[in-house]
């Protein structure tokens, strides 16, 4: 904030300074003009120092606060897991013994999905999103429900495009999608010590394509901090498979775990899987994408079979 300019402070009545300010001589008239000059000579360097400090503090904070990188884009991680205390979010939902989170945390691995497989999965997203796309910066493709961003709304791609879908996707696309989902599910089960059969795929599970286009609707504002268990009550475990590379394909767009003191960021790279329990122990956001295009697929799991969904089927 810029310093406010002020006049010379008034001296108390009856003081010697007040007497000197009466126009009894030329020197007494000029004296008050020296006060602002001295003040400015003192205040301006001080204000500059404060401003420099604020700019430095702001640069350290970055887009979403002081950050520590949990997974660099150049790392090849066989597996990294950080356990955190569970929140109370799960207590307000029906618990399923042996599945509902008792052990909470977040993990990253680069060895479950290969970069070649990530490229093939990305091609599925590109083919589907070529049929539509949001007018804003965030587009969604959900192969389960058929939801596809088109302009400022969503359509059901299976109903909207009908038989044309047969020429867009292939049986191999859906087979690969199912295989990747199963491997991510197994990774989560092993990390949290639960049975893989106790986890059920849940909605929404979807592809996302994000670029720097200005948001047109609330659906385009992907950057707000949120808790998955609060936003989607069925979520117990959340995962993301990244399909493009931070700083090669896009700038910004890092995944940020919001924490007091220092946020923890994940830098996307194609084939990287990030997963975590869905409660407020893992409050998170995505940085705004500044350039390029960021692709990912969100794969969510629940412990409640009533909230489970089937894999998409190519027909």
**What is the number of structural domains in the chain?**
1
Task: Examine residue 283 and state whether it is found in any structural domain, yes or no.
Answer: yes
Cβ atoms within 10 Å of 51's Cβ, excluding its own: 13
pLDDT tens figures, 20-48: 444 444 444 344 444 344 333 433 444 34
- List 179's β-bridge partners, or say none: none
Mean pLDDT across the chain: 85
> pLDDT per residue over 178-231, tens digit each?
999 999 999 999 999 999 999 999 999 999 999 999 999 999 999 999 999 999
Q: Is residue 3 part of a domain?
A: no
Question: Where in the sequence is the domain holding 243, given as residue range(s)?
Answer: 80-92+101-307
DSSP secondary structure code for residue 215 in this structure: P
Q: Do the domain assignments include residue 157? A: yes
pTM above 0.85, yes or no: no
Peptide bond before 272: cis, by omega within 30 degrees of 0? Answer: no
Is 106 within the bounds of a domain?
yes
Predicted local confidence at residue 65, as pLDDT: 58
Identify whether 147 is part of a domain: yes
The answer to the question of residue 253 being in a domain is yes
Write out the catalytic residue numbers: 294
In whole angstroms, give the CA distance from residue 181 to residue 311.
9
pLDDT digits (tens, 9 = 90+) for 55-109: 333 333 445 457 899 999 999 999 999 999 999 999 999 999 999 999 999 999 9
Asked if the structure places residue 25 within a domain, the reply is: no
Q: Which of 57-71, 239-253, 277-291 has the lowest mean pLDDT?
A: 57-71
Query: Residue 137 belongs to a domain with what CATH number?
Result: 2.60.120.620
């Amino acid at each position: 904030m810029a310093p406010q300019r002020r006049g010379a402070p008034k001296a108390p009545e009856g003081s010697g300074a007040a007497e000197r300010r009466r126009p009894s001589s030329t020197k007494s008239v000029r004296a008050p003009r020296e006060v602002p000059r001295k003040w400015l000579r003192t205040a301006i360097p001080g204000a500059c120092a404060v401003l420099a400090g604020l700019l430095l503090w702001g640069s350290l904070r970055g887009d979403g606060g002081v950050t520590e990188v949990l997974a660099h884009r150049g790392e090849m991680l066989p597996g990294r897991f950080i356990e955190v205390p569970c929140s109370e979010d799960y207590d307000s939902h029906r618990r399923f013994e042996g599945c509902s989170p008792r052990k909470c945390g977040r993990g990253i691995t680069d060895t479950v999905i290969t970069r070649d497989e990530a490229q093939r999965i990305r091609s599925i997203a590109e083919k589907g999103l070529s049929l539509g796309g949001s007018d804003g910066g965030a587009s969604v493709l959900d192969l389960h429900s058929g939801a596809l961003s088109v302009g400022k709304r969503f359509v059901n791609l299976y109903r909207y495009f009908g038989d044309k879908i047969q020429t867009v996707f292939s049986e191999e696309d859906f087979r690969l999608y199912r295989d990747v989902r199963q491997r991510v599910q197994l990774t989560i089960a092993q990390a949290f010590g639960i049975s893989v059969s106790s986890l059920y795929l849940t909605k929404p599970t979807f592809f996302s394509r994000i670029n720097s286009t200005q948001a047109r609707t609330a659906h385009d504002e992907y950057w707000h901090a949120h808790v998955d268990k609060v936003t989607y009550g069925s979520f117990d475990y959340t995962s993301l498979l990244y399909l493009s590379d931070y700083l090669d394909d896009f700038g910004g767009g890092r995944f940020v775990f919001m924490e007091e003191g220092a946020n923890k960021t994940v830098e996307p790279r194609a084939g990287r899987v990030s997963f975590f329990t869905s409660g407020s122990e893992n409050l998170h956001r995505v940085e705004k994408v500044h350039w390029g295009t960021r692709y990912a697929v969100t794969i969510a799991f629940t412990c409640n079979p009533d909230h489970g969904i089937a894999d998409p089927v190519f027909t």
